Each structure stands twice: as C-alpha cells, then as structure tokens.
Structure 1
Amino acid sequence: MKVEFHRGRAGWRWPLLIVLCLTSLGLQAQKTPDIDPALLIDEEEQVTQEELEMENIPVDERIFIEPWNEVPYNRAYFTYTDAEIREKWDYLMRGLRMPYPSADYLRRQFEKYPFLRDGLEDFDGDFQSLEGRYVNVWRHFFAGNFQTARRLGLELGPIGEIPALFSQLLYAIYLADRQSVKYMMLQDMANRTERYFDLMEPAEDDPEMEPVVAVVRLGYAYAIARIAEESPVPIIVARRYISKIKNNAERVLEIMPDHPLGHAFLAGVDAGIMRRVGKFTGRMTYGARTTTVQDSFDEALTLAPDIPIVHYEYANALIYMNRKRDLNEAISHLETAMQLKPQFSMDALDVMYSYQRLREVRLYALNFRSFRLFEKARRTFSKHTDRNLTSVISGPLTTDMLENPDDYVLPERQ
C-alpha cells in the first residue's frame, strides 16, 4: 500500500505524529510479551488510500429505518407528563442547558430567526401546539425511546433536531451493536449540525439563543470526537479531526462560559489528544495541556457535580494523561458516577457505561503494563470484530475477547 501525505494546514504533521506514535508503542510494547506488538501496529494503524482521501464517513440511511435496540431499563421510570417535564426541566437540562421550548419562547425566536421554520412540518402558526410537539420529542428522549424521538424531532426543523440528534448520539454510543453503525450515526449527526453553523452565527450573542448555538456545536464536536478516539492516527490527521474538535470545544465556552458539559468536553479533548500522541506532541502540536484538563474539570464539577458523564470523563482523562499513576483517583470517579441516581436516559446510560468502563480499567490494570498496548489491543479487537465497545448491552471487554477475537466477529451486514 502506498500512502501519499497530502499538503495542507496539517500536512507537515504527518511524519512527526506517525513516527512518534509508532515508536512510542514499540518501546512500551516490549514490556508485555503475550501480545505481538507488530500485529497491533499493522492492523490498527494501516489505512487505505481511499480512507485517507475520504473527508466524511459514508452513511447508509438504512440504519435509521431498521429497528433500534431497546434501552436496558424500563422506560416507564423516566416517562414524564408535560407538567413533570416543565417542573424538572432545569434539573434535566443541568448539563445541556437548553431553554424550555415554551410557546412564547418559540414565537420570539421564529420572528428573529426565520430559518428555524425550515423543515418544520404541519405548522399552522399555533405556537401552543408547537410547544406540545417539542415537549413530546424531549419526553421520548428523556425516556430513552430514541428512534421515535429522532423521527418526530426531524419533523420539527432545527429546534427539533437537537433532541432528535442527541437521541441518535446516545443510541450510537451506548446501544449500537456495531462500530461501523456507530460511526455512521455519529457522522450523520456531525453532517446535520455543521450545516447550521453559518445560519446560527447571528444568534451567538443573543442570550435567548446562546444555549441552542452552544449545544449544536457541542453535539458536532462530540460526534467527531467519538469517531476520532478510535480511529488510526493517519485518519485523524488526514480528516483534521483534532482541529475540528478543539476549535468547536473552545467556541462552546466562548458562547457560554458557564456550560458544564462544555468545560468537561474541552478537558476531555486535551486529554484525548495526549492519549493518542503523548503529552509532548500534544502540547507542541495542538496546545493540549494538563493544566487545561485539570482546570476545566474542576469548573465542570463546580457547575454540575452530579452529572455522571463528567466523572467518568474525568476518570478517562486521568488515565489518558498519567496512565496508572492516578489509577485510584480514576477508579474513584468511576465509582462516584455509578452511585449517582439517574432521572433520565442520558444519565442512566452514562451510569451504566461507568460500570462497564470500570471493568475495562481493571482489565488494563491487571493484565497490561503498557496503556498504549492495551489501547491498541482494544482498537484492534473492535476493528476486527466490528463490535461497539461502548455499548452497554453487549458487556465489557474481557481477556478472552482479546485473545480470541475470531470468536466474536459479527456477521457482515446485509
């Protein structure tokens, strides 16, 4: 295979990043004799010319029509009436910070920003009825009825797309069986949110619309980040994932400096960069700093200490930056996340994944001297089997899965 390094803003970084990553892996892999590091490097890092030239992952629309997996809990626990949603709104939105879609709020925004009517079906000017339709989409999102929330939300234009696409995001990360389906769903979310950037720019300084603009950018960046975290380094560089993620993470906090998930995400971005290319290269090439990670997580926990995803992302960040040095603190954050009582789908799935991630962390701590080798083994397994390792319905990664990946390969999609 011949790989051509294309010129562009990040073109000069190709040789540096790839050599540093592979060299670092090779040095650390010597400590773990039971896995062949050459196999991991070849399978995980090798990409085709077609993949390098591909700007976005192609999306097969059938994934939205096929029946989706159910959440692994009784949705009745989180199915609320209109009155309950109104009463609980501030708590349910303590992370996303979306404004309640009241009739008066919608009327004001539609007058200021006519593009919000784009794609809105069956609207006759009755904003009270429209409020009910938006609340109904959020009801399905809160309960975990994600496929219905997506379908109904896409009928309600840009405002409806937010619960629709965050439903898609949660499904992709936590419920999709296949890594390939997860990637397509995340790419579709990135595609749909990116097209609103220019349209929403005039609303960035509008206090009533700032939360909407921030959450759209957050959704875009989060989707790209979830693709990038499992992608080979050449793909990350060729598609400019890091600049797309980091620029939007910073933009979210410029728009809303008190956004708790914005702070946690920015911290996770810098930690994720260090995870893939190391502290030195991350700092010199992309400005990723441990101080940013610490300060941003401190701010996120100050703003919203009871959001499970903040704790488990903090745990991940500690491991990404310091490997086993802060392992006990990382485990403590995962255990904290597991003990939080969820009141809607997002928190419930985050709590479930915290338990699954804790099992993975213990697998790493007990069986691997090198974190990079564990990560390579994990990504190689997922690529070989097409299994989504963040799914909470398929169980955590095990030693047997890593040693016998052929036993876990999913059949090809028809």
Structure 2
Amino acid sequence: MKSAHPAARPFWLVLLFTCLLSLNAHAVDDDENIDEMDEVTPEELSYEDIPVDERIFLREWPKVPFNTAFFDYTPEQIEARWDEFMVGIRAPFPSADYLEYMISNYPEIVEGVEAFNGDFEDFSQKNIHVWRLFLRGDLQQAREEGMKLGVIGLYPAMFAQILQAIYLTERQSDKYMMLQDVANKVREHFHILERAEDDPIAAEIVAFTKLGYAYALARIAEESPVPVIVFRRYIGKIKGGAEEVVELIPDHPLGHAFRAGVDAGIMRRVGRATGRITYGARSTVVDESFGKAFEMAPDIPILNYEYANALIYMSRKRDLNQAYDYLARATRYTPAWSMDALDTMYAFKRLQEVRLFDEQYRSFRSFERQRRRFSRVTDRNLTNVMTAPLTMDMMEHPEKYALPPQEH
C-alpha cells in the first residue's frame, strides 16, 4: 500500500481538528456528542477505496453453519416462491422473457459473456442456478458461477459475497476488502444504470444495484473512525444511495429500512444534534421508514434486529426494553433461505452484545469505543456468527484475542 503523500497530511490534521470542534460544539451529554477520536493513521486517509488483495478470493471460504439441504429448492420451487424469498430485497426473477427484454435494450450486460449463446431459456436456467446456490447457502460457489454470467449474474454473486463478508469472514480486514470489492464491481456498471433509471421494467434491477453498493459501503463505514468516514465521503454515498432506492421502488421494504438505518447510524456515530444539523439525520425519519418497512414485510428477521439497533443508536438505554423485544423476535423466525438463517443467527449474537452493554456499561459511547478497539486490535469481525459474543474480558484485554498474522 502507498503511504500518504506529504501534501495530504495537513488535510487530515485539519480534518481531525474539525471533528474535534464538532465534538465540542454539539456536545450535550456523555452519550449525545460525537465519538471521541478513534486512532487513525495517515495511510487510512491516503485512499478513498480500500485496496483489495485478490488472494482472498482464491482461498476456500468458511461454510455456512447449517445444512444447505434445508434450503435447496428446485428451479420450479424457486420460481413459485420467488416473491416470498425476495420480499425484502426485491430482486427481479431472471425469466427468459425478462432477460430477453434486458439484453435487447441493454446489450452491454452480456458483452464478453461466454455463457450466453443467444438462447434466453438456457441463460435463464443458468441464472436461476446461481440463485439456487445463493438461497441454499453455497455462497462462494454462487459468487464464482454468478461472475460468469455478466451483469445479471453479478447481482446474486455480489449479495452472496456481502453475506459471506458480514456473517462468515473471520477477519475484519478481509471483511472490509470483500465489501469494497462489491462496491467496486457494482460501480463499474453505473453507466448502464443511468440509461435504465427511467425504464420501469429495469427499475428493480437498478434499485437492487444501488442497494448493494450503498449497503456494502455502509457496513464498512459503521465501524470506521469518524475522520475516515468523512474523508472517504461515505455518508453522502450511502445516504444518497438509500434515498434513490426508495425513489425508484416506493414499496421496497429493505430500501425503507436501509434508509432509516442510515440516519440511525449517523446518530450512533456523531450524536443526534450533529447528525441532524450536519447530515439531516432525524429520528422521525427512522421511525416512519421502519414503520413502512414493517407494513410491507413484517416477517423478516433483519428488519427486527436493524430496528432494535436503531432504537439503541437513537435513544441509548431509554428504549432498551423495546430493543430487546425486537432482537428476541428476530431470533424466533423459521428461516426460508440462507440470508434469513444468517440474519437470525446474528440477531442472537447481537442480543448477547446488547446485554453486555446493558449490564456492564453506563455509557453507550464507552461501550462502542471499546467494541471498535477490540476489533481494531484483534482484527476480528464482530458480526461473524460463528464466533463467541463479546465478554468483558475480551473488551478489557483485546490483545489476548488477537488473530495471528495472515498467511498467504
């Protein structure tokens, strides 16, 4: 990696100073002001996109912690239950008719794609197979097979990669690279989106694309130091993407939930006052958007645990009992496919984390700072569902839990 150019250093020092001024200007109480400055290096402020080491895609990825046969559906079952599976993310079904329309109007999506030979029915079956892999939890294979199918196959491939990064990757550094890779690959096709935004038939795939891009960046930003968030312009990219999703598809459940989660996440990191004044983040938007999402899709585990997180981010311990209820509800769903299963598992882990905060910390800010410090010292991905929840010993002695240096 390149280190920061000397000319860039005064900028990041000014940036830190600006953030500290914001801390003093908008402080209300211990839990209402901006985070104290996490440690940040000049190198982190020398690039806008995280450098991706391609070797992470050559290694065998950890498998899902359940039997994939539970969610292995035939192509006919997938088509029949498509609306049920996709009620949250609203991906379009890759039927032969849909693919013929998309390829006829946007031929760039199959440029250089050897798997497409002009037979739309055959191409449809190949795309459905990628979704079958994704639905049952063969995430690395879904990525590899989807990447062979051009833009249409890229989307299930990248969402499989997002799930792998968030829920199954051991290292935080690998998680960040995998999420950045998603953002990079999706961004390469933004020029197609500009042409397709006014096409009602293409609207779902455009919204799906914008959601994937913004969501990948949001999962990086949520644990990054505030100066890094500002320097890389995460908030504008994420907030803009979230708003575009619901503009394109007004009845998009996860679009509304994501839009709400963005505002809650801003309040988490900079407090209500700075969040409202600087970034337009409002608790009313959070409540209204989650309300819409629950009306459209009341039985999705991710909506429940994200709303629980939002309550904590906005109100700290004031609405903690309600947050407990939503987290517990998220753990009780019977999953229909891999994403639901992993969301449910993470909700259980997050529930243990919130109990630690409730029982051991008076200050949400202190809990968050120690949580981020643990991840930074150990390089452990705290959203990995296959590792133990945080304990006080882990929080107070992170060096004991540090992962060994990466072997390539």
TMscore range, shorter length = over 0.9
Structure-2 change in CA distance of 1:22 and 1:183 (3 Å): farther
Amino acid at match of 2:185: R
Normalised by the length of structure 2, the TM-score is 0.94
Structure-2 change in CA distance of 1:360 and 1:60 (3 Å): same
Structure-2 change in CA distance of 1:26 and 1:286 (3 Å): closer
Residue 172 of structure 1, aligned match among 165, 170, 182: 165
Hey, what does 1:234 align to over in structure 2?
A: 227
Structure-2 change in CA distance of 1:410 and 1:25 (3 Å): farther
CA contact (8 A) 1:119 1:156 kept: no
Asked whether 1:28 is paired with 2:30, we answer yes
Structure-2 change in CA distance of 1:265 and 1:197 (3 Å): same
Distance in 2 of aligned mates of 1:368 and 1:340:
30
Structure-2 change in CA distance of 1:26 and 1:322 (3 Å): closer
Hey, what does 1:6 align to over in structure 2?
A: 11
Structure-2 change in CA distance of 1:226 and 1:316 (3 Å): same
Hey, what does 1:181 align to over in structure 2?
A: 174
Asked whether 1:322 is paired with 2:315, we answer yes
CA contact (8 A) 1:218 1:262 kept: yes
Hey, what does 1:17 align to over in structure 2?
A: 19
Amino acid at match of 1:6: F
Residue 204 of structure 1, aligned match among 197, 218, 241: 197
Structure-2 change in CA distance of 1:119 and 1:141 (3 Å): farther
Hey, what does 2:278 align to over in structure 1?
A: 285
Distance in 2 of aligned mates of 1:246 and 1:413:
34
Hey, what does 2:350 align to over in structure 1?
A: 357
Hey, what does 1:122 align to over in structure 2?
A: 115
Deviation (angstroms), 1:19: 3.7
Distance in 1 of aligned mates of 2:24 and 2:218:
21
Amino acid at match of 2:393: D
Amino acid at match of 2:134: F
After superposition, the C-alpha distances for 1:237-281 in whole angstroms (9 at most, x for unaligned) are 000010110011111111111110000000000000000000010
Q: What is the CA RMSD across the aligned residues, in angstroms?
A: 2.1
Deviation (angstroms), 1:400: 1.7
Distance in 2 of aligned mates of 1:60 and 1:25:
40
Residue 136 of structure 2, aligned match among 138, 143, 147: 143
After superposition, the C-alpha distances for 1:279-326 in whole angstroms (9 at most, x for unaligned) are 010011010000000000000000101111111100000000000000
Structure-2 change in CA distance of 1:14 and 1:285 (3 Å): farther
Distance in 2 of aligned mates of 1:299 and 1:345:
24
Mind listing any 5+ residue stretches in structure 2 that lack a counterpart? none
Deviation (angstroms), 1:182: 0.2
Distance in 1 of aligned mates of 2:272 and 2:16:
17
Asked whether 1:72 is paired with 2:65, we answer yes
Structure-2 change in CA distance of 1:77 and 1:190 (3 Å): same
Hey, what does 1:108 align to over in structure 2?
A: 101
Hey, what does 2:79 align to over in structure 1?
A: 86
Amino acid at match of 2:361: F
Asked whether 1:46 is paired with 2:39, we answer yes
Amino acid at match of 2:334: K
After superposition, the C-alpha distances for 1:198-239 in whole angstroms (9 at most, x for unaligned) are 211121122211010001100110010000000001100000
Deviation (angstroms), 1:119: 4.3
CA contact (8 A) 1:17 1:281 kept: no
Give the 3-state SS of the residue equivalent to 1:45 in structure 2: coil
Deviation (angstroms), 1:111: 0.3
Tell me how many residue pairs correspond in the alignment.
399
Give the 3-state SS of the residue equivalent to 1:83 in structure 2: helix
Hey, what does 2:216 align to over in structure 1?
A: 223
Give the 3-state SS of the residue equivalent to 1:156 in structure 2: helix
CA contact (8 A) 1:99 1:211 kept: yes
Give the 3-state SS of the residue equivalent to 1:148 in structure 2: helix
Normalised by the length of structure 1, the TM-score is 0.92
Q: What is the percentage of aligned positions where both structures have the same residue?
A: 54
Structure-2 change in CA distance of 1:26 and 1:279 (3 Å): closer
Distance in 2 of aligned mates of 1:189 and 1:5:
31
Mind listing any 5+ residue stretches in structure 1 that lack a counterpart? 30-39
Residue 163 of structure 1, aligned match among 145, 156, 181: 156
Residue 372 of structure 1, aligned match among 362, 365, 369: 365
Distance in 2 of aligned mates of 1:275 and 1:126:
50
Deviation (angstroms), 1:87: 1.1
Distance in 1 of aligned mates of 2:43 and 2:28:
27
Asked whether 1:384 is paired with 2:384, we answer no
CA contact (8 A) 1:119 1:155 kept: no
CA contact (8 A) 1:190 1:224 kept: yes
Deviation (angstroms), 1:21: 4.2
Amino acid at match of 2:316: R
Distance in 2 of aligned mates of 1:319 and 1:245:
20
